[in-house]
Chain A
């Protein structure tokens, strides 16, 4: 089954404790990205990657890091999480970059930072 998977689905952590949220897709997609969803704000892009070893900042990159060492994986790293990073995070992928390409979303990771 074609899908985007994320782990963990739920995470509660404390300020300053480094964490990684994994994302994997099995569709051989070139393009992957991370969004955060906050009430009333819709989804905002954090980082994106157009292919292996190519990453770039989205709208809200501060406090986050990403890497794209393999085509299928695109982990999101919070080196020193803060309470304002409490949010619902979605990973997405599409076959290619380019505005008309449909993006496929993972099920989401709900992160709480206390």
Chain B
């Protein structure tokens, strides 16, 4: 079945550091790929998405590129802020009617001033 693997955390960075959170996936066909963010005590919010190979999703300074050849969707940000501290989830959804999201285990990011 489909699966998503992302780097375990926590990832601790200083403010303005460069962020990479790795995500790789296994799926049949051509899934859509997502990054969701969960701030403390809240539900998940969509951060960015890409629906086909070589698409780049971007939002709030975060970027991720859908790489079919390496089955990856790594999340990057050039300069993190304390307010970026959260748990980040990589997810995929097969492009069928079921719309089920398959999530990775989540990566906690802590940004220190």
Contact = CB atoms under 8 A, between A and B. Distances in A.
Contact of A99 (B44, B95, B103): B95
A97 B96 CA distance: 8
A98 B106 contact: no
A99 B89 contact: no
Interface size grouping (class) on chain B: 20 to 34
Contact of B98 (A48, A100, A104): A48
Pick from B41, B51, B95, B98 the residue with the most CB of A within 10 Å. B98
Contact of A56 (B41, B51, B98): B98
Interface string A16-32: 00000000000000010
B100 A40 contact: no
Nearest to B27: A99
Interface string B19-40: 0000000000001100010000
Contact of A100 (B36, B44, B95): B95
A102 B49 contact: yes
Interface size class of A (residues with CB under 8 A): 20 to 34
Contacts, number: 74
A11 interface: no
Given A40-B105, A42-B4, A43-B89, A102 B100 contact: no
Contact of A48 (B92, B99, B104): B99
Interface in A27-48: 31, 33, 35, 40-45, 48
Interface of A: 4, 31, 33, 35, 40-45, 48, 50, 56, 58-59, 90, 92, 94, 96-108
Given A42-B106, A101-B99, A108-B42, 20 more contacts: A40-B105, A42-B104, A43-B44, A43-B91, A44-B103, A45-B100, A50-B99, A56-B98, A59-B100, A90-B43, A96-B99, A97-B98, A99-B99, A100-B32, A100-B95, A102-B49, A103-B99, A104-B46, A105-B44, A108-B43
